[in-house]
Structure 1
Amino acid sequence: MELLEGTVLAGESFEPIRGRVVVEDGQIEAIEEVPTDSTDIVLPAFVNAHTHLGDSVAKDAAAGLSLEKAVAPPNSLKHRRLAAADRPDLVAAMRRTLRFMRETATASCLDFRESGPAGARALREAARPLDIDPFIFGSGDASVLDVADGFGASGANDDDFAEQRAASRERGAPFAIHAGEPDPTDIGPALELDPDLLVHMVHAEPDHLDRVAEASIPIAVCPRANTVLDVGRPPVRALLDHTTVALGTDNVMLNPPSMFREMAYTAKQFDVTDREVLRMATTAGAEIVGLDGGVIAPGRRAALTVLDGDSNNLTGSTDPVRAVVRRATALDVDRVLC
């Protein structure tokens, strides 16, 4: 049994409770209000709702390039670098990035893995010795579902994904697709595929939002990547008003996959509350693919982060949720329990 004491951000509302979390056999047994001298902040470990970990072989190589030249399939710099990478180097690079994510309090990520079944297997190998579990959205033809957890489509303007959608539905695996990143033209066709997850939706229009709300389709947004690629700003407030919204960091070649950085940027640039941002970084991503984490509640998996509330950075903070979302960094992480 383990006892994690301090200010616990409990439940889906992240209500600060002075006390402790009781953990046994990897599960949260109880949250107890008890006297404590601990200045620690205990919160759910992050779930990064959109990554491209294969980009780890080409960090910062696309700086200053447009979306099309940087990452668009099939001939962008990203895809040329992926094609040129040998498997041991790819696995090693992805493993280093997964370690960084673990060090920055991420318990899981929803990764769009290129290169078909071989790409999915490479990511499984990279994650095998680590305490972080990527949920893999595979690519290519439907056979990737023999290896991956779901299917991740690049975009409805890139190809016809009807076969992969049908195969995902038959297997009960989630189907995700990029939509509305450079412009709105691929959003309608993406919605026709009845996806389980939409990624980006930067250029979502009112009729798109109504369809998303009617079908209860969650959305992963990646504000920092959208800024770097100069494709626009996702309408985060409008998206939250229509559906579940989760936070992702997108391409590793563009930005480090730090949820601390993504939260702080989102909180300061968009019309959102700190609690909404923290939910986007934890509970929402877990809910999208059915992970048993993302919230501190009895009976849930103990995927938890402990921040040092007495660090040089956090000491004197007046609100623990605001401190986590707007101020905390990897240097404040005392422990990650997964």
Structure 2
Amino acid sequence: MQPAEYVVTGRALLGKELTEEDVCITITGGIIRSIEPCSGTPDRWIVPAFFNAHTHLGDTVAMDLPARGSLAELIKPPGGLKHRILAATPDAELVRGMRSSIMTMIATGTAGFADFREGGAAGVAALREAAAGLDCRPVILGREGGEQVSDGAGISSVHDVANAEEVVREARAAGGLVAFHAGEKNPDDIDEALAFEPDLLVHCTHATDAHLRQIADMDIPIVVCPRSNWLLGVTASPAHPPIARILELGGRFFLGTDNVMFVQPNMLQEMAFAATVYRAPPVEILRAAIAGAALTGRSGFLEEGQEASILMIDPKRHNLSFTRDIRATIVKRLDSSSIEQNVLNIR
């Protein structure tokens, strides 16, 4: 339990621009009440916590399973390898696996995540059980009948779901979000996904410029999952996913880690990979690792009036204090050993 009023001081990254400033931040009842300039503050960095905008946490029970095959053979519903494993795993083991992955996310600075949850209503209930009492806020996007008892619909490629129109209609009627996998291995399903005017697109690894312009015009965020794309063999080029073009065309992107079966749900690793392979400006990568919090109805950034979820980083623990660019150093070099304290989802 955090105290009713909480004050932190240090060099903070403020607002959506992630501007550096030495400040005192007063948090009252979980809300940032004031951000005031401070001089002589401790040598501490105050950073917005991360939001993992695309996960499949159920896959934890199949982590690093030696597996070969096409994308369809591995993860396509309903008969892909992962779906067979999930169906054969006892509920208690699924819950234990998902909870362990949530704890891994917390330890690496993540305050929330958006999960495509298999298994219908029972699968949604299992993830809620796994997340109970932990300071990591889930957005659960159900499947196979779980759409109406969750935060919305997490739809595989429109080509994989025969009743996609019905699923979207029912999710909307329940007030939920609609998210689609699209453009992961080729662009052929993007137009059909866009016809549903979704709230979120995942992957768009092979989206064309025409698609990206339309997505930007519709103000739909794209969740990119670079490490997963490379490991699953749907890209071997920094042009895919087209992060540079998304930015050039005025679009929005979030970062996600995708299947725990293949990739650890660690946003620090995801940021470092994206910076190395895609060479996007570090501030854009860092912003993408935070901005997915919009799916919960909050900004995720350090702004007065916003809910507070922050990381306090001690740059003296290792060599981070020698940085000439805090944002670049967080993106490329930060690991959990330098996180002094997580102050997540204060209530």
- Shorter-chain TM-score category? over 0.9
Aligned to 2:306: 300
Displacement of 1:292 in angstroms is 2.0
- Give the alignment of 1:173-322 within 5 angstroms: 173-232=176-235, 233-240=240-247, 241-283=249-291, 285-287=292-294, 289-322=295-328
**1:97 aligned to 2:104?**
no
2:332 is the counterpart of 1:329: no
> Partners in 2 of 1:114 and 1:290 — Cα distance?
20
Query: Does the C-alpha gap of structure 1 residues 313 and 202 become closer, same or farther in structure 2, counting only changes over 3 Å?
Result: same
Residue 151 of structure 1: aligned partner: 153
Matches within 5 A, 1:3-152: 3-62=7-66, 65-141=69-145, 144-152=146-154
Worse overlay, 238-247 or 214-223: 238-247
C-alpha contact (below 8 Å) 1:120/1:148 kept by paired residues: yes
Q: Is the 8 A contact 2:148 2:170 kept in 1?
A: no
Task: State the distance in 2 between where 1:165 and 1:246 align.
Answer: 22
Larger displacement relative to structure 2 (89-98 or 70-79): 70-79
Q: Conserved in 2, the CA contact under 8 Å of 1:63 and 1:254?
A: no
Distance in 1 (alpha carbons) for counterparts of 2:84 and 2:276 = 35
Structure 1 stretches of 4+ with a deviation exceeding 6 A read none
In 2, distance between residues paired with 1:198 and 1:121?
24
> 3-state SS of the aligned residue for 2:160?
coil
Match of 1:315, SS state, is: helix
Cα distance in 2, alignment partners of residues 198 and 210 from structure 1: 14
Q: CA deviation at 1:206?
A: 2.1
**Backbone CA RMSD of aligned residues:** 1.4
> Measured at CA, do residues 290 and 129 of structure 1 come closer, stay the same or move farther in structure 2, by a change above 3 Å?
closer
Provide the TM-score with structure 2 as the length reference.
0.93
Unaligned 5+ residue runs, structure 1? none
Tell me: CA distance 1:78–1:62, structure 2 relative to 1, closer, same or farther (3 Å): farther
Task: Look up the equivalent residue of 2:149 and give its one-letter code.
Answer: V
Instruction: Say if 1:236 and 1:271, in contact at 8 Å, map to a contact too.
Output: no
Task: Give the % identical residues.
Answer: 39
| Structure 2 unaligned regions, length at least 5 | none
Q: Distance in 1 between matches of 2:342 and 2:273?
A: 23
Calculate the TM-score normalised by the size of structure 1.
0.95
SS of the residue aligned with 1:209? helix
SS of the residue 1:172 aligns to: coil
Counterpart of 2:321 in 1: which secondary structure?
A: coil
Contact conserved, 2:10 with 2:42, CA < 8 A, in 1? yes
Distance in 2, Cα, partners of 1:69 & 1:310: 47
Q: Kindly provide the amino acid, as one letter, of the partner of residue 259 in structure 1.
A: M
Give the length in aligned residue pairs.
Answer: 334
Say whether the 8 Å CA contact 1:313–1:332 is kept in structure 2: no
Q: Secondary structure of the residue that 1:73 maps to in structure 2?
A: coil
Distance of 1:227 and 1:106 partners within structure 2: 23
CA distance in 2, matches of 1:318, 1:208: 37
Q: Which amino acid aligns with 1:333?
A: I
